Amino acid sequence: ISFNHVLVDGQAAVEFIVSWAETARGLPLSVPPFINRTILEARIPPKIEFLHPEFIPIEDKSSPSPSTTTINNKDDTVSKYIKFTPQMIQTAKSKTTHESTSPIKPCSTFEALAAFVWRARTRALEMNPNQLTRILLVVNTRGKFSPPLPKGYFGNAIKFAPAHSLAGKLVKKPLSYAVARIQEAVRSVNDKVLRSTIDYLEAAATKTGDQRRFDGYGVITVSQWSGLSFSTTDFGWGEPFLSEPVESERTIVFLRHPTEKGSFNVLVGLPVPAMERFEELVQEELCG
């Protein structure tokens, strides 16, 4: 199944598929769609109150290396599911607490794993220490608006919450540093920022788009699918055997392990040499 992200996000897509399956079985819709898109219209005139660095391209400063020369060539990249067990997740969280040099909020599983992946990917790609890196955290904003969006909102309500760090600083600092950057980015998403983002995009719609903001060694997107119920949809012949996203070297996807409670599968795409190093880092830091 494919869909255009301009139209809908993951939650809306899941709710559509669930409604489709319920209709196929002659059941009433558990979540009727709310299709009034005007609630997310830009203001007139636009009121851009914040900077929106997630839309600004990052300059590549990393010179080619065996780990980086093929990152833009899909034929030379490999995608793998890396399993993180409850023990590995707890190790990552413990590192965040014990290695921190300043007070830090307790971190969620998503924050701990996102921070670990961001840091390990940067090391595996052997980035220039002066390379600016950006992690784009996909945030479901339905509950972030004031008032919240109506239940069943059928549209795209995600926001890219950006966290930044120089590569050298990211890999030298403890894991708690990356976690703090991620927590700060997610915490910054509120109604005012979201309305400013909508207005920014409306103002930019008349200009030539610059897709380079998602390119480069230093940029990754992290999306959490663990709360999406693709795997429980029943059209009348039972639940699906497998549900997984399309591979991408630019997007890291978090999914719950299909059989092991508390474990997560993380879909990662990297050039072959970098993938080997990434897997080594997982073993060294979380299983050693």
Q: What DSSP assignment string belongs to 95-149?
A: HHHHS-SS--PPPPHHHHHHHHHHHHHHHHTT--TT-EEEEEEEEE-TTTSSSPP
CA 91 – CA 69 distance, rounded (Å): 32
Q: Say which DSSP state 198 is in.
A: H
Could you confirm whether 5 is annotated as catalytic? yes
Q: Say which DSSP state 50 is in.
A: S
Token output for 32: 């009727």
Instruction: Check 52, 164, 215, 234 and give the catalytic one.
Output: 234
Could you confirm whether 210 is annotated as catalytic? no
The CA-based angle 270-273-277, given to 5 degrees, is: 85
Count CB atoms within 10 A of the CB of residue 111.
Answer: 22
Instruction: Check 5, 76, 191, 210 and give the catalytic one.
Output: 5
Q: What DSSP assignment string belongs to 218-246?
A: TEEEEEE-TT--GGG--SSS-S-S---PP
Active site residues: 5, 234
